[in-house]
Amino acid sequence: MRITSPDIGADGRLADRHALEHDNQPPTLRISGVPEGTAELAIVCHDPDAPVPWGFTHWTLYGVPADTTEIGPGADSRYRAGTNGFGKEGYGGPRPPEGHGPHRYYFWVYALDRPVDGTPSLRRFLDTYGDAIVEQNRVVGIYER
């Protein structure tokens, strides 16, 4: 499975429009090569560089059909958006602490052999559906304030 994004430049930088304090718009993710037998896709954006023990979850999105080839702005209203680390449903863009340096934002796409019930947190999703992951891949963006 291949994940690309026209919104993440060659240097990996995410444009300000993707940040929480600007337009808070998720980047477009292009998905190809989804394995046969995939029941649905799940999308996660996670910042492992956040200064908290488990990193920071910026987005969980469930119920994405296996034949989806592009995810981007408006996805929260088309699929099931879970609660992000800011305590709100849907995409919550980068907002690293000022002066903390560059943070990496992993946009994961998971191909699952069974559908996800509800909108679990990232940890609950991985604990409950880890055995349902047929394939996974990601694209990484970088943002700094």
pLDDT digits over 103-143, tens only? 999 999 999 999 999 999 999 999 999 999 999 999 999 99
Is a pLDDT exceeding 90 seen at residue 9? no
Question: What is the pLDDT at residue 6?
Answer: 96
Is a pLDDT exceeding 90 seen at residue 37? yes
pTM across the whole model: 0.96
Distance CA 57, CA 93 (A): 10
Helix (H, G, I), strand (E, B) or coil at 123: helix
Confidence label for 12 from pLDDT (cuts 50, 70 and 90): very high
Tens of pLDDT along 60-95?
999 999 999 999 999 999 999 999 999 999 999 999
Range of the domain at 133: 2-143
Give the percent of the chain with pLDDT over 70: 100
Token pair, residue 68, equals 């989806």
Query: Which CATH number goes with the domain that contains 134?
Result: 3.90.280.10
Helix (H, G, I), strand (E, B) or coil at 122: helix
Residue 114 makes CB contacts below 8 A (sequence gap 6+) with 39, 129, 132
Question: What is the pLDDT at residue 10?
Answer: 79
Is 72 within 8 Å of 80 (Cβ atoms)?
no
